[in-house]
Amino acid sequence: MNRIHLCMCRMSGAEQKFIDEAFAEEWVVPLGPNVDGFEEDLKHFILDGDPACQGKEIAALSSGTAAIHLALVLLGVGRDDEVMCQSFTFAASANPVVYQGGRPVFVDSEPESWNMDPVLLDKAIADRVAVTGRKPKAIIAVHLYGMPARIDEICAVGEKWGIPVVEDAAEALGSSYKGRKCGTFGRFGILSFNGNKMITTSGGGALICPDAESKKRAVFYATQAREAYPYYQHEHIGFNYRLSNISAGIGRGQMTVLEKYLDHHRRLAGIYQVLFAGMAGVKYHANPWPDADSNYWLSTVEIDPEITGCTPDVVSQHLNKLNIETRLLWKPMHLQPVYADAPAYVNGVSEHLFDRGLCLPSGPWVTPEQVKMIVDEIAYLISSQSASLT
């Protein structure tokens, strides 16, 4: 049997046409018709028809990490500045703070969405101001596994303190909250098109900007910060962060199947949810509120070892023997050795989830039959483990 992956990219067939055009016209550079076309496709999908998104612009970049980095550059995050960051996330959310010489301050999650707890965020900011005498420069909130955060409340806390929000929607392309697409709530939003995300450009990302002027600044910094002179004049430190016209061609092809992929991820999620509903000790992570509409990039569960007799690690090893890929949940940043010295405001939620959670296959190659088989295998393992417990 072929390995069942968590979320492996799948080509639509349309990608090749865009790449061939780029070759035919020798647009093998980090700009060109595919870059423009991909940005237009993204704008159409994310922004069009939403009055709240009027005026926003999107810049295609070389990665989601680059997009976060540029957002911090544009917000003026510099040496010794503090940035509030969701602890329960992938390291790429926090690392760009350090690239800027700043210091991440980690904030734990609330149990319903698994994302940044807005009440704890507010308290944490008040404490940072008391301790350092300075306000943090930005707030990085994440929609983990595609599940929308309480982003309006997080933005309200940001507004109260006058601190802009960077919305890490790397995993949340197509998710929405209160009818509005994730990535459009914060001052800046970021997306990722890495090989294992909702769609891929092999590697790539995008920055959702509040207006045309800030997109212009983002592209300026993404193309080595060249000033408008006949020679190469530099007054700022720039980066090489623009998306290649070839990668953007892949993105344009992927955009033709995005809606289909979203339907597929949500359909598999629905099947998992029904099948796990009767299983004691296993809790499927479904939309916690009617206002939340996850893309279900990955389907995730909490497994209670006391009821099931299984740790997530044991389940993962069992499925791996059957050639089924799973992954433990992200290890919180405040537990990472590299961030041992970073201030952290914790409430136990992300540590609890890290102990119990597991990601299950959800990508465009996974079939409903495979989902049933995966759940059957977990049920079988649990029944054998709990039999040996008693």
Ligand X SMILES: *Cc1c(COP(=O)(O)O)cnc(C)c1O
- In the complex with ligand X, the residue whose CB is nearer, 161 or 339, is 339
- Can you tell me the distance from the alpha carbon of 46 to that of 169, in angstroms, rounded to the nearest whole number? 12
Q: Under the criterion CB under 6 A, does residue 93 sit at the interface with ligand X?
A: yes
**Residues 241, 222 contacting (CB under 8 angstroms):** yes
Q: Under the criterion CB under 6 A, does residue 353 sit at the interface with ligand X?
A: no
> Footprint of ligand X on residues 197-216 (CB under 6 A)?
205
CB 241 to ligand X: min, Å:
11
Task: Answer left, alpha or beta for residue 172, where phi above 0 means left and psi between -120 and 50 means alpha.
Answer: alpha
- In the complex with ligand X, the residue whose CB is nearer, 93 or 109, is 93
Piece of 59-67, 114-122, 132-140, 268-276 that binds ligand X (CB under 6 A)? 59-67
Distances (CA, A) of 355 to 50, 94, 181, 304, 312: 39, 21, 30, 9, 8
CB 156 to ligand X: min, Å:
22
- Can you tell me the distance from the alpha carbon of 59 to that of 208, in angstroms, rounded to the nearest whole number? 7
- In the complex with ligand X, the residue whose CB is nearer, 57 or 167, is 167
Q: At what angle do helices 245-255 and 33-46 cross, to 10 degrees?
A: 40
Residue labelled with tokens 């212009």: 216
> Of 34, 109, 184, 192, which lies in the binding site for ligand X, with binding defined by CB under 6 A?
192
- In the complex with ligand X, the residue whose CB is nearer, 90 or 161, is 90
- In the complex with ligand X, the residue whose CB is nearer, 262 or 310, is 262
Q: Under the criterion CB under 6 A, does residue 168 sit at the interface with ligand X?
A: yes
- Can you tell me the distance from the alpha carbon of 36 to that of 62, in angstroms, rounded to the nearest whole number? 14
> Of 12, 34, 63, 299, which lies in the binding site for ligand X, with binding defined by CB under 6 A?
63
> Footprint of ligand X on residues 136-155 (CB under 6 A)?
142
Q: Determine the Cα angle at 226 with ends 224 and 228, to 5°.
A: 165
Q: Under the criterion CB under 6 A, does residue 247 sit at the interface with ligand X?
A: no
> Of 165, 170, 275, 358, which lies in the binding site for ligand X, with binding defined by CB under 6 A?
170
Point out the residue whose Cβ comes nearest to ligand X: 64
Q: Under the criterion CB under 6 A, does residue 6 sit at the interface with ligand X?
A: no
Q: Under the criterion CB under 6 A, does residue 366 sit at the interface with ligand X?
A: no
Which stretches of the chain are DSSP H helices? 15-24, 33-46, 64-74, 95-99, 118-132, 151-161, 212-222, 245-255, 258-277, 305-308, 312-321, 349-356, 368-389
Q: Is the sign of the CA dihedral 360, 364, 368, 373 positive or negative?
A: negative
Residue labelled with tokens 């390291």: 91
CB 97 to ligand X: min, Å:
12
Piece of 49-57, 88-96, 268-276, 357-365 that binds ligand X (CB under 6 A)? 88-96
- In the complex with ligand X, the residue whose CB is nearer, 7 or 268, is 7
Q: Under the criterion CB under 6 A, does residue 110 sit at the interface with ligand X?
A: no
φ/ψ of 131, rounded to 5, equals -75, -45
**Residues 334, 88 contacting (CB under 8 angstroms):** no
Total residues interacting with ligand X, rule: CB under 6 A: 14
Q: Under the criterion CB under 6 A, does residue 295 sit at the interface with ligand X?
A: no
Q: Under the criterion CB under 6 A, does residue 194 sit at the interface with ligand X?
A: yes
Collapse the DSSP code of 273 into the 3-class scheme (helix H, G, I; strand E, B; otherwise coil) and give the result: helix
Q: Under the criterion CB under 6 A, does residue 89 sit at the interface with ligand X?
A: yes
Residue labelled with tokens 């997109």: 215
Piece of 89-97, 150-158, 255-263, 341-349 that binds ligand X (CB under 6 A)? 89-97
Window 317-336: contact mask with ligand X (x via CB under 6 A):
--------------------
Piece of 151-159, 166-174, 241-249, 346-354 that binds ligand X (CB under 6 A)? 166-174
Q: Under the criterion CB under 6 A, does residue 64 sit at the interface with ligand X?
A: yes
**Residues 34, 248 contacting (CB under 8 angstroms):** yes
Q: Which two tokens stand for residue 283?
A: 């809790």
Q: Is the sign of the CA dihedral 195, 166, 264, 323 positive or negative?
A: positive
| C-alpha torsion angle, residues 60, 66, 72, 76 (rounded to 10) | -90
- In the complex with ligand X, the residue whose CB is nearer, 309 or 357, is 357
State which amino acid sits at residue 185.
F
- Can you tell me the distance from the alpha carbon of 247 to that of 255, in angstroms, rounded to the nearest whole number? 13
Piece of 20-28, 168-176, 332-340, 341-349 that binds ligand X (CB under 6 A)? 168-176
- Can you tell me the distance from the alpha carbon of 33 to that of 35, in angstroms, rounded to the nearest whole number? 5
* Residues at the interface with ligand X (CB under 6 A): 63-65, 89-90, 92-93, 142, 168, 170-171, 192, 194, 205
